[in-house]
Amino acid sequence: MEKNRSSFPMLASVSIHLLVISIVGLVLYWLTSLREGLALSSSIPMKIFNLHPLLMVLGFFIFSGEAMIAYKAIPAQRQTIKLIHLMFHLIALASGIFGVYAVFKFHDEVKGAHMYTLHSWIGMATIVLFGFQLIFGSITFLFPGAAPATRARFAPWHVFAGVLIFFLAIVTAETGLTEKFLFQKLKHGQEALLVNFIGLLILVFGISVIGTAVFPIRRK
Ligand code: HEM
C-alpha cells in the first residue's frame, strides 16, 4: 500500500516539537509555580481560571497544530494519518470546550461578566467554527465520505478554512495572554518576561504550522 513518504525535513519536525516542549514546559511552570496552581473546584477561584490557559494552549492550540502537520510529519499510510488527524482534532475540541467551561465557571464564582471582550468574542467564534469544520470534514472525508470528485473539490476549502480557524486560534491565544498580562498589572520581572515569551513561542509555532500546512507534499 502507498505510504505517505513526504519530503518534510526531519529538522523541521524536530524544531516544531522543540517549540511544543518549550511551550508546554513554560505554561506549566507559569501556572503552577508563578501563579496559584490548577483545580476544577477550589476556594481560590484563580485556580479554576488557570485551567483555561492550560487547556486552551496545551490542549486546543497544540493539538490542533499537531493535527494540521500530521499529513506532512508522520510517515504512515494515508488512512492512518486521516484517523490521527481526526483524533488530534477531537482532543483539541474537547480541551477547548472544557477550557471555555473553566473560564465561565471562574466568572460565575467571582460574579464576573461574560463575553465582554474582543478576546472572548474571537475565542468563541474560533471554537464554534472549529466544531463545524470538524463535522463537515468528518462527513466529507471519513464517515461516510463523499464521492472522490466532491472530496477533491472540497479539499482546498477544507485546508483554507482550517488555516483560517487556526489563525483565529493564534489571535485568541495572543489576546488572552495580553489580557492576563494587563489584568495582573505585569510590567517587568520574571512573570512578565515569561508570559511574553510564551506568546512569542505560540506565534512561531503557529507560523510554522501554517507554513507546513500550505506547502504541498512532494512524495518520494
Ligand atoms: C485559543 C485559545 C483560547 C480561546 C478559544 C479562548 C476563549 C475564551 C472565551 C470564550 C472567554 C470568555 C469567557 C466568559 O465570558 O466567561 C475567555 C475569557 C478569558 N480568557 Fe481566553 N481563550 C483562549 C486562550 C486564552 C489564553 C492563552 C489566555 C491567557 C491567560 C486567556 C485568557 C483569558 C482571560 C483573562 C479571560 C477573561 C476575560 C475575558 O472574558 O476576556 N485565554 N477566553
Q: How far apart are CA 3 and CA 75, in angstroms?
A: 7
Task: Give the residue, 216 or 169, on which the prediction is more confident.
Answer: 169
What would the DSSP string read from start to end of 84-150?
A: HHHHHHHHHHHHHHHHHHHHHHHHHHTT--SS-SHHHHHHHHHHHHHHHHHHHHHHHHTSS---HHH
Distance (Å) from CA 1 to ligand 1 centroid: 44
Neighbour tally for 55: CB within 10 Å: 23
pLDDT-derived band of residue 4, with 50, 70 and 90 as boundaries? very low
Q: What is the pLDDT of residue 1?
A: 39
Atom of ligand 1 nearest to the CA of 107: 16
pLDDT-derived band of residue 77, with 50, 70 and 90 as boundaries? very high
Atom of ligand 1 nearest to the CA of 127: 5
What are the phi and psi torsion angles at 40 (to 5°)?
A: -85, -35
Mean pLDDT of 170-186: 98
132, three cell numbers: 463545524
Tell me what the pLDDT averaged over the chain comes to.
Answer: 94
Task: Report pTM.
Answer: 0.94
Residue-wise pLDDT tens digits, 36-63: 999 999 999 999 999 999 999 999 999 9
Distance (Å) from CA 52 to ligand 1 centroid: 7
Q: What is the pLDDT of residue 3?
A: 47
pLDDT-derived band of residue 2, with 50, 70 and 90 as boundaries? very low
**Ligand 1, atom 11, residue with closest C-alpha:** 120
Distance (Å) from CA 175 to ligand 1 centroid: 8
Which residue from 105, 116, 120 has its CB within 8 A of the most atoms of ligand 1, so it is best to mutate?
120
Mean pLDDT of 86-110: 98
Q: Evaluate if residue 220 carries a pLDDT over 90.
A: no
What are the pocket residues of ligand 1 if the criterion is a CB atom closer than 6 Å to any ligand atom?
A: 52-53, 56-57, 60-61, 96, 100, 103-104, 107, 114-115, 117, 119-120, 123-124, 126-127, 169, 172-173, 176-177, 179-180, 183
Q: How far apart are CA 124 and CA 130, in angstroms?
A: 10
